[in-house]
Homo-oligomer: A and B are copies of this chain.
Amino acid sequence: MIHFRPIILLFLVIVLFACAEQMVQKSDPLLSWNDGKNKQSIMDFVNEITNETSPNYVKPADRIATFDNDGTLWSEQPYYFQLQFALDRVKVMSADHPEWKDIPLFKAVLDNDINKVLSFGEHGLLELVMATHAGMTTEEFSQIVRDWIITAKHPMTKRLYKEMVYQPMLELLDYLRANGFKTFIVSGGGIDFMRPWTEEVYAIPAEQVIGSSGKVKFEMKDGQPVLTKLPEINFIDDKEGKPVGIYQSIGKRPIAAFGNSDGDLQMLQWTAAGNGKRLMVYIHHTDAEREWAYDRESHIGRLNKGLDEAVKKGWVIVDMKNDWNKIYPELVR
């Protein structure tokens, strides 16, 4: 019966591979997180809702996790990266807009006077977004974003903006997906600005990205149907808008939600108010050396009311400085 041996060998190899795979799965899925109560709370939650014998078991279809983007999945200082994109666009587009040099807001952009730009407040930012994010087809805009995201670098870290994503959060996204979660972005940022790169950077496909948006119009252009971006607000996905956006786009209440500012508070409240076990997490920016340290007084990503409520309700408050042993991914050039 010597001729059976190759089959037996094959069988042993299969068993060996299965064991090796199990061992890999048992290694730490959150390597960049230091051991401690926050990491433990996250893993305890996942273990419990995936345990079929637990009263808190959640079937895979309802394992919805929502993530804010700016300040939660990537950095947001000294100002939102999408604003830098808008500033860069103003400069590129200014050749076709000689009138801009006489308009104070646009003149400030062209003069690189960022403090002056910020002094125009939210209204000014919106005006810059309208001027740079509309008046073209959706496909033209996507291409502009794709070209920018592979070249634009942060002035302080000299990293590409897309390399300023948090390594611990990438691991967390993977870990949740490995446990049957569907991961969504729910950001105040522009949906059109995020979708061209979220699949590559976060493994979150376009259809799982919720954000602020402008109106688009279906029309015929040279006999071809196109969607044209209009300079009109469609939806602002911030504060009270976040649970509304989640409801309109997903139609299910998340069981886990992650944010870093008061703009995420309503999303966390709405998540918390569901039945069964829930996970609410705030990322607290406490690391002035490796990233930035800011909360109650910051003009970007202010965390004030949210911090009080998180403490009161016992939500997880991630201390970036102490909970994360790595901030950004290592660069392989």
Contacts and interface: CB of A to CB of B under 8 A. Distances in A.
A244 interface: yes
Given A1-B1, A199-B61, A273-B225, A216 B8 contact: no
Copies in the complex: 2
A191 B182 CA distance: 20
A270 B218 contact: yes
Contact of A191 (B205, B226, B248, B270): B248
B243 A61 contact: no
A216 B245 CA distance: 10
Interface string A202-228: 000111110001001110000011110
A269 B207 contact: no
Nearest to A2: B1
A265 to B, nearest CB: 10
Given A61-B205, A234-B248, 4 more contacts: A191-B248, A206-B250, A206-B251, A207-B252
Nearest to A229: B247
A138 interface: yes
Contacts of A244: 216-218, 227
A4 interface: yes
Contacts of A191: 248, 251
Interface residues of A, number: 41
A252 B270 CA distance: 29
A61 B195 CA distance: 13
Interface in A123-154: 138
A11 interface: yes
Nearest to A243: B218
Contacts of A226: 273
A137 to B, nearest CB: 11
A113 interface: no
A266 interface: yes
B11 A252 contact: no
Nearest to A265: B225
Contacts of A218: 240-241, 243-244, 266, 270
